[in-house]
């Protein structure tokens, strides 16, 4: 009899314990996802007001739903206004470099509760047709956010397009500019790989990288080839420096963002005057992908699309050596201007 009662008690305790653990896990998951919308970390300095009134969790839940509904076209503008959601011009832009890791950088920064990303590349400043539509058109392309948050967009074509520095300067002369670079030869091959894949998808043939990168008449590096020109970072940066002081740029090491993302992200947080909120918890290595992936909370995580991290074709070593020799003096100048040295050959 006593034994039966003890067993019953144990059973009850087990059920109660399971319920408690279940509720705790649910709460952690909810709070984790709400974290992104909470004013946990007001931003210092010129990014706006330091603090905002605390928003109760239930209101946040509602706001989150509202934001989603609005995107689907189901909520009224009046509701958005009442809840203080705004479409803000970016306070920072990832201007390039194409294939440097721009998507990974944007997605990883978006882990920060005070950052809201523009998911699509807007191509406002590099595309004349878009630019002619005016700044309000650009602002309307931005995601909804709370006033204390900052919006970041990325369009890697900005870095290499002649007209862009002046146009961005006219919008906001104190904007923060992020440039993510990779070892120039690897970046050029990555650039080629993307174009090659596009051609293959359309069943078209394409030249070998070696043929494009080396001028067959002179046997020298072909500076007319776009993938080569884009990797001459210093040439492009010098154009930007006619409008913005070097302090307004932050250079991200794209090779290190692959192997040690947190170190790079912490430097960006500092540059953007954001309180450090991205932690190792938010980044986990996925052996199948061979890259770090993103963890927002215990229920939501994601890796970048398969188009990021393509296998590069094998390139003749003599061509690689020639390219590295070609980029060397430009790299030295780039280190000198930016004050950031890389271990590029």
Q: Residue ranges for the binding site for 3'-phosphoadenylyl sulfate?
A: 99-103, 182, 190, 292, 308-312
Instruction: Quote the tokens at residue 219.
Output: 């046997």
Specify the stretch interacting with ligand A3P by CB under 6 A; choose among 11-19, 57-65, 101-109, 214-222.
101-109
Separation of alpha carbons 52 and 27, rounded Å: 24
Residue 67: Cβ within 10 Å count? 19
Establish how many alpha carbons lie within 13 A of residue 291's alpha carbon, considering only the half-sphere containing its beta carbon. Answer: 22
Judged by CB under 6 A, the residue of 304, 315, 319, 323 near ligand A3P is 304
Does residue 190 touch ligand A3P according to CB under 6 A?
yes
Q: What is the DSSP letter of 36?
A: G
Does residue 234 touch ligand A3P according to CB under 6 A?
no
Specify the stretch interacting with ligand A3P by CB under 6 A; choose among 61-69, 97-105, 237-245, 319-327.
97-105
Judged by CB under 6 A, the residue of 257, 274, 320, 323 near ligand A3P is 257
Q: What are the distances in angstroms from CA 43 to CA 1, 46, 48, 115, 150?
A: 65, 8, 7, 10, 9
Judged by CB under 6 A, the residue of 36, 83, 91, 99 near ligand A3P is 99
**Does residue 253 sit in helix, strand or coil?**
strand
Phi and psi of 284, rounded to 5°? -130, 145
Give me the 258-297 binding string for ligand A3P, x by CB under 6 A, dash otherwise: x--------------------------------xx-----
Q: Find where tokens 């706001």 sit.
A: 63
Q: How far is the CB of 164 from ligand A3P (least distance, A)?
A: 17
- From the centroid of its chain, how far is CA 136? 23
Judged by CB under 6 A, the residue of 36, 63, 80, 101 near ligand A3P is 101
Does residue 42 touch ligand A3P according to CB under 6 A?
no
Instruction: Let me know if 323 is exposed, middle or buried by CB neighbors in 10 A (0-12, 13-18, 19+).
Output: buried
Task: Name the residue nearer to ligand A3P (CB basis): 100 or 165.
Answer: 100
**Does residue 41 sit in helix, strand or coil?**
coil
Known binding-site residue numbers: 99-103, 182, 190, 292, 308-312
Instruction: Quote the tokens at residue 239.
Output: 């154009």
Task: Name the residue nearer to ligand A3P (CB basis): 102 or 234.
Answer: 102
Separation of alpha carbons 150 and 338, rounded Å: 25
Q: Which residues are catalytic?
A: 99
Q: How far is the CB of 208 from ligand A3P (least distance, A)?
A: 17
Task: Name the residue nearer to ligand A3P (CB basis): 99 or 295.
Answer: 99
Residues that bind ligand A3P (CB under 6 A): 98-104, 156, 190, 257-258, 291-292, 304, 308-310
């Amino acid at each position: 009899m006593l034994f039966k009662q003890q067993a019953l008690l144990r059973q009850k305790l087990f059920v109660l314990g399971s319920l408690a653990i279940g509720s705790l896990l649910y709460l952690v998951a909810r709070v984790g996802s709400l974290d992104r919308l909470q004013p946990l970390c007001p931003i210092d300095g010129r990014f706006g007001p330091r603090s905002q009134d605390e928003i109760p969790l239930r209101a946040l839940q509602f706001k989150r739903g509202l934001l989603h509904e609005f995107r689907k076209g189901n909520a009224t503008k009046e509701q958005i206004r009442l809840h203080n959601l705004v479409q803000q011009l970016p306070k920072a832009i990832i201007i390039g470099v194409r294939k440097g890791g721009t998507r990974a950088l944007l997605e990883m920064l978006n882990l920060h509760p005070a950052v809201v990303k523009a998911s699509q590349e807007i191509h406002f400043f590099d595309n004349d047709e878009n630019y002619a539509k005016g700044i309000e058109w650009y602002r309307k392309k931005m995601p909804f956010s709370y006033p204390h948050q900052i919006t970041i967009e990325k369009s890697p074509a900005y870095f290499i397009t002649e007209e862009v520095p002046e146009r961005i300067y006219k919008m906001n002369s104190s904007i923060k500019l992020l440039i993510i670079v990779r070892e120039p030869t690897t970046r050029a091959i990555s650039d080629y790989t993307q174009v090659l894949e596009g051609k293959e998808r359309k069943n078209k043939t394409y030249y070998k990288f070696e043929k494009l990168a080396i001028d067959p008449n002179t046997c020298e590096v072909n500076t007319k080839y776009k993938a080569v020109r884009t990797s001459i970072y210093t040439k492009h940066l010098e154009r930007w420096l006619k409008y913005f002081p070097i302090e307004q740029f932050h250079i991200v090491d794209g090779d290190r963002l692959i192997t040690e993302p947190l170190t790079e992200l912490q430097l960006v947080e500092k540059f953007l005057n954001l309180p450090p909120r991205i932690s190792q918890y938010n980044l986990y290595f996925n052996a199948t992908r061979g890259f770090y992936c993103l963890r927002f909370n215990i229920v939501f995580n994601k890796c970048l699309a398969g188009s990021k991290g393509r296998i590069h074709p094998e390139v003749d070593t003599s061509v690689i050596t020639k390219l590295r020799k070609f980029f060397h003096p430009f790299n030295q100048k780039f280190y000198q201007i930016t004050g950031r040295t890389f271990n590029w050959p």
